[in-house]
Amino acid sequence: MRFFEFAKMIKPIKPLNPQQYRVYSLKQNVEKSKLALKNEKERQKRQKEQERLRKSRMNPQSQIPR
């Protein structure tokens, strides 16, 4: 493709007015917060699993079925 063919495909983006920008930034904050919450829950889950494994290694008698 030639340059002028690309120029036809790309539409210019208008700048956001203050109200639109506020809505846009609030949406971005929501997405970042959801991602941060998900990451924190995963981190806590991994930490809990590591603690469980550490305890089971320290007390191997509790793992023997009777």
Interval 11-38: pLDDT, tens: 777 899 999 999 999 999 999 999 999 9
* Distance (Å, whole) CA 24 – CA 21: 5
- pLDDT band at residue 58 under the 50/70/90 scheme: confident
Average pLDDT, the chain: 85
Kindly compute the dihedral angle of the four CA atoms of residues 27, 28, 30, 31, in this order, to the nearest 10 degrees.
Answer: 120
Q: Is 60 among the domain residues?
A: no
Nearest to 52 by CA among 38, 64, 63: 63
* Distance (Å, whole) CA 48 – CA 19: 44
Token output for 29 = 């904050």
Residues 44 and 52 sit within 8 Å (Cβ to Cβ): no
User: Range of 40's domain?
Assistant: 13-45
Interval 36-47: pLDDT, tens: 999 999 999 999
Q: Is 65 among the domain residues?
A: no
Q: How many domains does the chain have?
A: 1
